[in-house]
Amino acid sequence: MRKICLLVAIIFFNCCLSRQVWAFYAAPAVIEISGNRGEQIENKFTLVNESKTEETYYIDTLKFEASDESGTPKFIPYSEDHSELPEWLTFPTKTIKVPAESYVEFPFLVVVPSDIKSGGYYAAITISDDQPTADQNSSAIQTKIALLVFLNVKGENNEQAALLDFSVSPKWNEKLAGTLTYRIQNQGNVYLKPKGTITFKNLFGQTVASIDANPEENKILSETTRKIDLTFDQGLNIGPVTAKLNLEYGEEQKTIQASTTIWLIPWKILSVGLISILLVIIGLRILNKKKK
């Protein structure tokens, strides 16, 4: 079991590293597909070989799920579960030869069964520059990258989300800066990719700044909760500022709205101003005494 966990950790670790670390990479990193039951959906990805020699790469598939509220994918070992989408992905071949310092566009097919439930299904296409071993219990460690595949099967789908929390840290600050956090629970059966803005309004209702509420296009898998942290630094301001969250999700563009208040007191500037006023008052009094 330790070997399997190590392999899964290595796969994810390699996915997160910049492509310059390895002599090959693939794009896009995330593939979104939508189709009907019984449909065959064509798609492709690009595999780039940056080395100075021709290389052979090996294709495989894995299932994944959300490991926690950060959305980090948890890859499920082949021996534990390889059902659904990993089985529906078909390739013309499981090996790809790519010339030196070149690339290949590699097609694949998603064969959606006609007798399945509608909803979201998830898999990873893994690519390795080492030939996989026949023995699933082998201790050999292979370097892999992974492309995440998100499939929504159309039908009796339920797109429903709930906002569990919307907060800011710190609540008191000397300028409009900090971290906004919101948590969304996907209560439906398809993955969601919310989009929207967070606007900052001053005491008079004027918009002083605005940021993207989901700049990384984070996805929320069905029946999971996702936490999204957004850092912001919009400069100096004063008084209470209201941060308003406006999100849309799903084909029907359902909305989620919430707000939180940030209290801004630029105490450094106020302190300097107060000290300056006091010095002026003291100076004037000294001058008046000298005149008398």
Regarding whether 204 and 104 lie in a shared domain, the answer is no
Task: Give yes or no for residue 141 having a pLDDT over 80.
Answer: no
Regarding whether 194 and 139 lie in a shared domain, the answer is no
pTM beyond 0.85: the answer is: no
Regarding whether 45 and 28 lie in a shared domain, the answer is yes
Q: How far apart are CA 3 and CA 11, in angstroms?
A: 12
- Look at residues 47, 149, 23 and name the one whose alpha carbon lies nearest to residue 95: 47
In this structure, what token pair is assigned to residue 245?
A: 């969250």
* pLDDT tens per residue, range 47-66: 999 999 999 999 999 999 99
Q: Structural domain of residue 228, as residue ranges?
A: 161-269
Q: Is residue 282 part of a domain?
A: no
Regarding whether 23 and 124 lie in a shared domain, the answer is yes
DSSP state for residue 51 in the 8-state scheme: S
Task: Give yes or no for residue 100 having a pLDDT over 50.
Answer: yes
What total of structural domains would you count in the chain?
A: 2
Q: Is residue 225 part of a domain?
A: yes
Q: For position 72, which CATH number holds?
A: 2.60.40.10
H-type helices in the chain, by residue range?
2-16, 85-88, 267-291
Regarding whether 149 and 56 lie in a shared domain, the answer is yes
Regarding whether 197 and 249 lie in a shared domain, the answer is yes
- pLDDT, mean of residues 157-173: 95
β-strands 172-173, 254-264: how paired? parallel
Q: Is residue 283 part of a domain?
A: no
* pLDDT tens per residue, range 198-255: 999 998 999 999 999 999 999 999 999 999 999 999 887 888 999 999 999 999 999 9
Regarding whether 138 and 215 lie in a shared domain, the answer is no
